[in-house]
C-alpha cells in the first residue's frame, strides 16, 4: 500500500475531523500518501479528490462536523456509480480506503471491497452508537453531552412551570442516546425502540411521581420508537392526564454538532491511527473499534449487523432512578 484515500460519509458526527487528522498524520508517519475524498462516496464518483498534507489537517481536531464534508450518495448504490468511483480511485493510484461513517457508509465500503477488492477499513463515525465491534462510536459521547446539557435547561423551565416535557432525542432506530440522556438528566421515563412501554405504564409512572410530590417531569423519547415520536406520545398522554401542562421539545440536529468531547477526540485519534496501521498490516474489510480499551478489528459484515443491544444494566439503572 502506498496511497490511502479517506472519506466521511452519512450523517456527520463530532470527532470525524479528529479521525481524519489521525489518518493523515499517521499515514505520513509511515511514509504513505493520503488523499481526501470530499462529500463521501458522492465526491468519489465526481472525482472530488485532493492530496492532503499534515498542514491541511491543522486545527481541525477540536472542530465539529467534517472538513471533508459528507453526503448520503444514492448513485453509489448503483453498480455504475461504484464502477465510476473505482475508476476515479485508480486514476489517482489510491490503493486503500478509510471510510468513516455509520452502518450505511460501512455497508458501502463492504460492497466496494467485494466488487473491486480495494482494501478498506471502516471507522465507526455516528452519534447513534449502533455499530457492533466497538463500545462507543465516534460522536456518541459528544451527542449525549449535548443532549444532557440541553435537557438540563429544559429542566429549569419545566420546574418553574410544573410542566411535563417530552424531549425527543436522535438515534435512528436505536435507544443508546436516549438511555444515556435519561440517566444523565434524571428523566421520569425513557422510551426506546428496543423496549416496549405501553402508554398505561407511563401514565402509572407519572401518577406515582405526582403522589411523591414531583411536580415537573421530563420524559425522554428516542426518535425511532414504535409508539411514535415525542409529539404523538404527548398527545396520547394528554388524553389520560388532561390537567397536565405538557410541552414537547425535539432536540434534532443540534445533537450532531459541536466541538467533540475529550472522549471522542481520544477515540477518534486512536482509531485513525489503528486504521492506517491495520491497512499496513494487511487488514481489509474490517472496522476498527475499541472494546475494553483495546483496539479490535471486526469484519465490517459483523459490525453492521444490527445486534448491538442497549446495555441491560443501563436500562435497569434508568428505571430504578426514575421512580
* Known binding positions for ADP: 21-25, 155, 214-216
Q: Enter the C-alpha cell of residue 175.
A: 435507544
The number of C-alpha atoms within 13 Å of 151 and in the hemisphere containing its C-beta is 32
Q: Enter the C-alpha cell of residue 169.
A: 432525542
Q: Name which of 105, 156, 93 is nearest 130 in CA terms.
A: 105
Q: Residue 40, class by beta-carbon neighbours within 10 Å (0-12 exposed, 13-18 middle, 19+ buried)? A: buried
Nearer to ligand F6P, 126 or 180 (CB): 126
Q: String of b and e for 300-312 (b: at least 16 CB within 10 Å)? A: beebbeeebebee
Write out the binding residues: 11, 21-25, 72-73, 102-105, 126-128, 155, 163, 170-172, 214-216, 223, 247, 253-256
Write out the binding residues for ATP: 11, 72-73, 102-105
Please list the residues that pair with 163 across neighbouring strands. Answer: none
Nearer to ligand F6P, 104 or 272 (CB): 104
Residues that bind ligand F6P (CB under 6 A): 11, 102, 126-128, 170-172, 223, 256
Nearer to ligand F6P, 128 or 285 (CB): 128
Nearer to ligand F6P, 102 or 122 (CB): 102
DSSP state letters, 120-175: EEEEEB-TT---SSSSS-BTHHHHHHHHHHHHHHHHHHHHHTT-EEEEEE--TT--
Catalytic residue (one of 48, 87, 95, 128) = 128
Angle, helices 16-29/262-280, rounded to nearest 10 degrees: 40
Q: Name which of 141, 113, 43, 51 is nearest 85 in CA terms.
A: 43
In whole angstroms, the minimum distance from the beta carbon of 235 to ligand F6P comes to 21
128 is catalytic: yes
Cα–Cα distance, 57 to 23 (Å, whole number): 10
Nearer to ligand F6P, 35 or 41 (CB): 41
Give every CB contact of residue 165 below 8 A, 6+ residues apart in sequence: 154, 158, 216, 217, 218, 219, 246, 247, 248, 249
Write out the binding residues for Mg(2+): 103
How many helices (H) and strands (E) would you count in the chain?
A: 11, 11
In whole angstroms, the minimum distance from the beta carbon of 172 to ligand F6P comes to 4
Active site residues: 128
Amino acid at each position: 500500500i502506498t496511497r490511502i484515500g479517506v472519506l466521511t460519509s452519512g450523517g456527520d458526527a463530532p470527532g470525524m475531523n479528529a479521525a481524519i487528522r489521525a489518518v493523515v498524520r499517521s499515514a505520513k508517519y509511515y511514509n504513505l500518501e493520503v488523499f481526501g475524498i470530499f462529500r463521501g462516496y458522492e465526491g468519489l464518483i465526481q472525482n472530488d479528490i485532493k492530496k492532503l498534507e499534515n498542514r491541511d489537517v491543522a486545527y481541525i481536531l477540536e472542530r465539529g462536523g467534517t472538513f471533508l464534508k459528507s453526503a448520503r450518495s444514492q448513485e453509489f448504490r448503483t453498480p455504475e456509480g461504484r464502477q465510476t468511483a473505482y475508476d476515479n480511485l485508480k486514476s489517482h493510484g489510491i490503493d486503500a480506503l478509510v471510510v468513516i461513517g455509520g452502518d450505511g457508509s460501512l455497508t458501502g465500503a463492504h460492497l466496494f471491497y467485494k466488487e473491486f477488492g480495494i482494501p478498506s477499513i471502516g471507522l465507526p463515525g455516528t452519534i447513534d452508537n449502533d455499530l457492533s465491534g466497538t463500545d462507543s462510536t465516534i460522536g456518541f459521547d459528544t451527542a449525549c453531552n449535548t443532549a444532557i446539557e440541553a435537557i438540563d435547561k429544559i429542566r429549569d423551565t419545566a420546574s418553574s412551570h410544573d410542566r411535563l416535557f417530552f424531549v425527543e432525542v436522535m438515534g435512528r432506530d436505536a435507544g443508546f442516546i436516549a438511555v444515556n440522556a435519561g440517566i444523565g438528566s434524571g428523566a421520569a421515563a425513557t422510551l426506546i425502540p428496543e423496549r416496549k412501554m405501553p402508554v398505561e405504564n407511563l401514565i402509572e409512572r407519572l401518577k406515582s411521581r405526582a403522589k411523591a410530590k414531583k411536580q415537573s417531569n421530563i420524559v425522554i423519547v428516542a426518535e425511532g420508537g414504535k409508539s411514535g415520536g415525542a409529539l404523538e406520545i404527548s398527545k396520547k398522554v394528554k388524553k389520560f392526564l388532561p390537567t397536565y401542562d405538557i410541552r414537547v421539545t425535539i432536540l434534532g440536529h443540534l445533537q450532531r454538532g459541536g466541538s467533540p468531547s475529550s472522549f471522542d477526540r481520544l477515540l477518534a485519534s486512536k482509531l485513525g491511527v489503528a486504521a492506517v496501521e491495520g491497512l499496513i498490516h494487511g487488514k481489509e474489510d474490517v472496522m476498527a473499534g475499541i472494546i475494553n480499551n483495546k483496539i479490535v478489528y471486526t469484519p465490517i459484515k459483523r459490525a453492521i449487523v444490527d445486534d448491538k443491544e442497549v446495555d441491560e444494566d443501563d436500562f435497569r439503572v434508568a428505571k430504578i432512578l426514575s421512580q
